[in-house]
Amino acid sequence: MRNNQNLSLIGNRSGLAGAKSSLFYQAFRIIQEMRDATDNLYPAIAVWENVMGAFSTNDRMDFRAVLSAFSDTEVPMPPSGRWGNAGMVRGGTPDVCWRLMDAQYWAGSRRLARRQRIFVVADFGGRRAADILFKPRPMLPLPPPCGEGGWATAEGDRTASFETGRQIPVIHPFQCFRMRGAAKRQEETAFRNSFGLPTDPFPTLLASDVTPFAFWYEGDPEGGCIRFLTETESERLMGLPEGWTKYGADGVEIRPLQRYKALGNAIALPCADYIMAGIYEVLADRAGKEE
């Protein structure tokens, strides 16, 4: 479950008391009612995903409230007064772990945008949250591109992001806010550095804006330009199949502006793949032991 608009560092920072992020309590109520209705069998595992700002809203008390709700106990603040990027609450049921994950480090040879998100895993049936969230496991391959109507195709061209024909593209992530500040201060070096390096990750994709970048083909820097990401490039940077946001549930093509907004609010697929693989692993192991 995720409801991050009041927790984001670029949002209104009203925290769990905000009209949108307060839906966390409704989601948790549904989990409790499901477990009551199934004699505490389902759901066996719950996952909460949110923006990094959830660590700090309301003087860092919101994240404490999330951990306390999941662990069914009063979780104390860390002695440092700040939440670590990873940790666990262990003692009773459920078993709870959290971890800050950045999509750029889960790309392997691929190129993904920087996207820092908190993942909390609660295991209501044992002490497997750490295995799900911390255990090393291989990354899954890229999904196939989507065809007409949003259905996955059997085969497709999955070349690297921005690869076009036989020409080799040179990509420099464009730090728009950094450039504006450098221009205002008339700092030439900082202005040049705002173009970033070819090895820099792309900035986090935002729902409120489209990310620009510097682009040219190798050997032809004078023919370069500053341009915006296409919808397909944005999907690639999130690890999603090409065309994933092209069609709605009714099969009607979605407007570009709405696609950009959806991608800015999306979850990076490689991080979700890793966690879902961990959940499958521990549940399959339990099923095997019960046979």
The model's pLDDT over 2-53, given as tens digits with 9 standing for 90+, comes to: 555 544 444 444 555 655 557 888 888 999 999 999 999 999 999 999 999 8
Query: What mean pLDDT do residues 168-197 have?
Result: 80
Per mean pLDDT, which range of 75-79, 80-84, 202-206, 285-289 is the poorest? 285-289
Q: pLDDT value at position 160? A: 40
Q: pLDDT value at position 80? A: 93
Confidence of residue 142 (pLDDT cuts 50, 70, 90): low
Query: What mean pLDDT do residues 213-218 have?
Result: 79
Confidence of residue 148 (pLDDT cuts 50, 70, 90): low
Backbone angles phi and psi of 216, in degrees to 5 = -155, 165
* The architecture CATH gives domain 15-140+269-290: 3-Layer(aba) Sandwich (3.40)
- Does 199 have pLDDT greater than 80? no
Query: What mean pLDDT do residues 242-255 have?
Result: 93
CA-based nearest residue to 286, from 84, 96, 175, 131: 131
Q: Which residues, 6 or more positions from 218, have their beta carbon under 8 angstroms from its beta carbon?
A: 167, 168, 169, 170
Per mean pLDDT, which range of 119-128, 198-207, 246-255 is the poorest? 198-207
Query: What mean pLDDT do residues 233-254 have?
Result: 91
Segment 73-109, tens digit of pLDDT: 899 999 999 999 999 998 777 899 999 999 988 876 6
The answer to whether the bond into 43 is cis (omega within 30° of 0) is yes
Q: pLDDT value at position 10? A: 43
The full set of domain ranges for the chain reads 15-140+269-290, 148-264
Average pLDDT value for the chain: 81
Q: pLDDT value at position 262? A: 93
Q: Would you say the pTM of this structure is higher than 0.85?
A: no
| Strand, coil or helix: 52 | helix
Per mean pLDDT, which range of 4-8, 247-251, 259-263 is the poorest? 4-8
| Cα Dmax for the chain | 70
- CA dist 117 and 268 (Å) reads 9
CA atoms within 13 A on the CB side of 6: 15
| Identity of the amino acid at 105 | Y
Per mean pLDDT, which range of 141-145, 183-187, 248-252, 276-280 is the poorest? 141-145
Q: pLDDT value at position 87? A: 96
- Does 161 have pLDDT greater than 70? no
Q: Which residues, 6 or more positions from 254, have their beta carbon under 8 angstroms from its beta carbon?
A: 245, 246, 247, 248, 262
Q: pLDDT value at position 158? A: 36
Confidence of residue 171 (pLDDT cuts 50, 70, 90): confident
- Does 195 have pLDDT greater than 70? yes
- Does 268 have pLDDT greater than 70? yes
Residue 116 vs residue 17, higher pLDDT: 116
- Tokens standing for residue 209: 């804006």
Q: pLDDT value at position 244? A: 92
Please name every residue paired with 117 in a beta bridge, in sequence order, or none if there are none: 51, 101
Summary count for the chain: helices (H), strands (E): 8, 7
CB distance 213 to 202 below 8 Å: yes
Residue 33, CA distances (Å) to 36, 96, 115, 182 in order:
5, 19, 33, 54
